[in-house]
Structure 1
């Protein structure tokens, strides 16, 4: 009978520990994922901005030497990520494949122009900067036209600002919820041992002596939950890196260290504080109140 009761108590204890670890893991995993997003938000936003092209169309009087000189200026410009020269004959072939007709033969000449397709570094793809770059290009008398999607630039920047703001708000809300969830799980774990706490107190054990094993056990559970959350966040980082290799998330070891270190420290701090106040509450209760 005693052995059966002991097995029941052991199963209940393991179940209690498992629920605490699961709560810590889920909450810290979510917070860590949001933290990883926030730290890499600039990279993510720049990745979207850098995919917005600008096309420069040159007049027919622009000679190969003129184009070569212009290309040299592009190579040295700090705002240029990459560029590609599109010869008007190549553009005509591509256009013929799209529309399915040989319009050059029909017109008797190629109406298209030599052009450069340019992608900028992300920090320059904002309204004021890209407008200034556009005006600089238009000062070149050899350039016929400068074309880019101005509305898309504004839309991307507005959405990035909104997303960043709401991620910060959501992170703060989840940080608060995480504390409540972990605190509730730990309080339930301590609640199941309230009679043991009171018995130890009645035989003369000090409050710090009684708290120590509870806090140490909770901190160990916090460490386990934190390590599982770190593994989950690293898996998310690996997945994101495989889908968006230009972000180089795994290569940014400093950011990963900050996120993983933050998860581990938060897991320890929350479990320590929650267990301290939970045990303190039962230590201050009278024996009659335990029921």
Structure 2
């Protein structure tokens, strides 16, 4: 089999944010903040398979918030060095980092030295009041995103703002243009626009997603805006399209759902390593398992 992407699961399902579309929706407690043991033998199998597939990027991600498990991120980075992936990315809402820079400074230095190249910051907008509504509804304010960007850049990381596009948040050309300009003004290397996944992963998210997903017309309007105002750089099959929009890298991402599934084993989309040693090629289908 051959794959296009390699995802490695960090931590547990717990997260300090409150995203209504989240795959988890689980708050931290004494039990779920305990690190799980990692099957390093099977990580080696997954890494070798990723190498054989010609994958150039590994993404450290989670069902919850990975930065709640900083020591595990460090351990993963040390073991992943053996596979010499050019790009090693961490997907995070970065709220713990922004709220506790003193704690995370040493980890950020370690992660950079151990090969982490890119930090992907998950948002729903560039506007703090909108991000607060989704990520931190019980807090007085959202994190200072421009300050966070500047802070992470100071360690040498490349950054990507990944926007989950939802109704009334990132659903018009004006909002998309404002978001792209925000990224450019803050020297963010890459932007990803990802319409909220139509296929909900937990029952409690079902109604919210149905009410807040983009319409087909809204998705088309965004695509047409990028086509008209940008230069198409790359077409990534079943992943998305990358544009240059006035000097800003912008990817319009395709969702992980039945429409991006390919039954050809030489053209699978995602190789996923779980800490217990299971290796899968489907996030939701239990039958999509190799080990």
Q: Per the shorter chain, which TM-score range?
A: under 0.3
Higher helix share: 1
- Tell me which of the two structures has the higher relative contact order, counting C-alpha pairs closer than 8 angstroms and 6 or more residues apart: 1
Q: TM-score, normalised by structure 2?
A: 0.21
TM norm structure 1: 0.21
Q: Relative to total residues, which structure has the larger strand share, 1 or 2?
A: 2
